Structures are given as structure tokens and as C-alpha cells.
């Protein structure tokens, strides 16, 4: 029996990348995983930018112990050339989506005698700025403060809220890379892989992290040093 036996988990962005790796790992550890994504074929259809979609999706979930918000997008554009539409699109998915998730998931977790664990996926780009990524960097920087506020508001119910900030991860977001990084390289000399981020999420979701809340776990191989 896995470490998360009898736990129910919701993972957004579960059709690919970090979300898919996380859903697979949590399932292997015994959790009942609800895989949510806007992509067709997802177990739970969810547009994270639409509050009505959250309400409909969560009607399918009677109990929730773990919430992993992995849905996210990026956009590459200098500020001067970034359309307001693109700016708002990135903020809508990366920040508004996390807000809506917290707004509707936290009341469910408050009903649990043992509380719950929320893990948001931030980014090293929320710590270290990058030219041409103002929308993405801003969304991830704000995500960290959102997580801290949520952690304070939910601690009375024993609901923990943390976030992970990886640097580059080999996901579809990086599909234009000339080549996939070599996993055999030293872990501090390459990008991370989704299953490595999933392992960090598993730690924060489990009882071994029972005393950790409002905390950022940097998985960036020293990128932000």
C-alpha cells in the first residue's frame, strides 16, 4: 500500500508535462487521482480561467486531500511588443487559475479532519527576471505571494499551502529546444525532468512535510543563486 493510500488528489494540467508525471506518481503511491485539463480526453475537463468550470469540475469530486495546480502557459515577448491580450492570457492561466483553484478547493479541505495539502507550481522566473518574459515572470512572482496568503488563511484548518519553483523543465512548453537535455549529465548541469519535480510534489503532499506551509521549494539547480 502506497504512502498516499486512501487520499484523493486533484491535479490540473494533468495531460502533459509536470502535471502528467505528478498524476502518475501520486496514483502509484495509492492516491485516487482526478486528472484535470482543458485538453480533450482528460478525466475532468477544466478551464482553470473559468470559475464556472471549477464549480462544475469539483461537483465530480466528493473529497479532496491533495491539490496540485500545475496548469500553466508561457509567452515570449518584450514588454513593448506584448499585446494586452497576451499579457492577460498568461496572467489568467498562471495566476487567476491558481486563485480560483484555491477559492474553491480550500473550503473542501476544511471539511477534512486531517486538513489537506496544496502545491502550486511556480517558477525560478518568479525570482530571477528574464527579458522577453515579463508576463510569465510576473505571474509566477505573484503566485508565491498568493501561496503565502493562502497558507496563513488556511493554517487553522491544518491545510498546508506550498509552492515549487523549478527552472527549466523538459515539458511541451520547451518543445522548440534544439535537443532534449541528456539525463545522464550531472543534475546541476542540465534541465530538470517532470518526474523529478513530481518527486518534490510527492514530498510536500505527504506526512513527511506535515510541518511545512507557506514555503517555496526551489528546484532550480542553483539558477537563482
Active-site annotation, residues: 136
CB count within 10 Å of CB 40 equals 7
CA dihedral 128, 133, 136, 138 (to 10 degrees): 60
Find how far residue 136's CA is from the centre of its chain: 14
CB atoms within 10 A of CB 210: 12
What is the rounded distance in angstroms from the CA atom of residue 109 to the CA atom of residue 136?
29
Report DSSP state, residue 188. G
Amino acid at each position: 500500500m502506497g504512502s498516499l493510500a486512501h487520499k484523493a488528489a486533484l491535479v490540473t494540467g494533468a495531460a502533459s508535462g509536470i502535471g502528467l508525471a505528478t498524476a502518475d506518481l501520486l496514483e502509484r503511491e495509492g492516491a485516487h487521482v482526478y486528472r484535470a485539463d482543458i485538453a480533450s480526453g482528460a478525466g475532468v475537463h477544466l478551464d482553470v480561467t473559468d470559475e464556472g468550470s471549477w464549480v462544475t469540475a469539483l461537483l465530480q469530486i466528493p473529497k479532496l486531500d491533495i491539490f496540485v495546480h500545475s496548469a500553466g502557459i508561457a509567452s515570449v515577448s518584450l514588454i513593448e511588443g506584448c499585446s494586452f491580450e497576451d499579457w492577460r492570457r498568461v496572467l489568467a492561466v498562471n495566476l487567476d487559475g491558481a486563485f480560483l483553484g484555491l477559492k474553491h478547493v480550500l473550503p473542501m479541505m476544511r471539511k477534512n479532519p486531517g486538513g489537506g495539502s496544496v502545491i502550486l507550481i511556480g517558477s525560478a522566473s518568479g525570482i530571477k527576471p528574464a527579458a522577453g518574459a515579463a508576463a510569465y515572470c510576473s505571474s509566477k512572482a505573484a503566485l508565491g505571494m498568493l501561496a503565502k496568503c493562502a497558507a496563513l488563511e488556511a493554517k487553522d484548518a491544518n491545510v498546508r499551502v506550498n509552492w515549487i519553483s523549478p527552472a527549466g523543465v523538459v515539458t511541451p512548453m520547451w518543445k522548440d529546444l534544439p535537443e532534449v537535455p541528456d539525463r545522464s549529465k550531472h543534475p546541476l548541469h542540465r534541465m530538470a525532468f517532470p518526474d523529478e519535480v513530481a518527486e518534490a510534489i510527492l514530498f510536500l503532499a505527504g506526512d513527511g512535510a506535515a510541518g511545512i506551509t507557506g514555503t517555496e521549494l526551489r528546484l532550480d539547480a542553483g539558477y537563482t543563486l
